[in-house]
């Protein structure tokens, strides 16, 4: 089974890059591979991501 990856869009340069969902815990800092901008996953950002993942699983039947 392949690991679930999340597309991350850099808020500075808009580069889209992938991160493993299991690595995106609340408080994790991620860095854009192009411009180096650092973003911390916090609060609602993390909660919304988990909610969206659960909805996607329901739609595809991969519960």
Strands (E), 1-63: 5-9, 16-20, 29-31, 38-40
Instruction: Tell whether pTM > 0.75.
Output: no
pLDDT in the model for residue 4: 81
Residues 18-59: pLDDT tens digits?
998 888 888 889 999 999 999 888 766 666 766 777 777 777
Number of structural domains (the chain) is: 1
Q: Is the dihedral of CA 34, 36, 9, 63 positive or negative?
A: positive
Tokens 């039947």, located at residue = 61
> In terms of residue numbers, what domain contains 47?
25-63
The distance in angstroms from the start CA to the end CA of the chain is 13
Does residue 30 sit within a domain? Answer: yes
In the prediction, which pLDDT does 36 show?
96
């Amino acid at each position: 089974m392949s690991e679930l990856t999340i597309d991350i869009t850099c808020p500075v340069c808009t580069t889209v890059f992938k991160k493993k969902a299991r690595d995106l815990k609340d408080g994790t800092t991620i860095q854009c591979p192009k411009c180096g901008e650092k973003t911390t996953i916090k609060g609602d950002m993390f909660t919304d991501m988990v909610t969206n993942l659960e909805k996607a699983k329901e739609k595809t039947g991969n519960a």
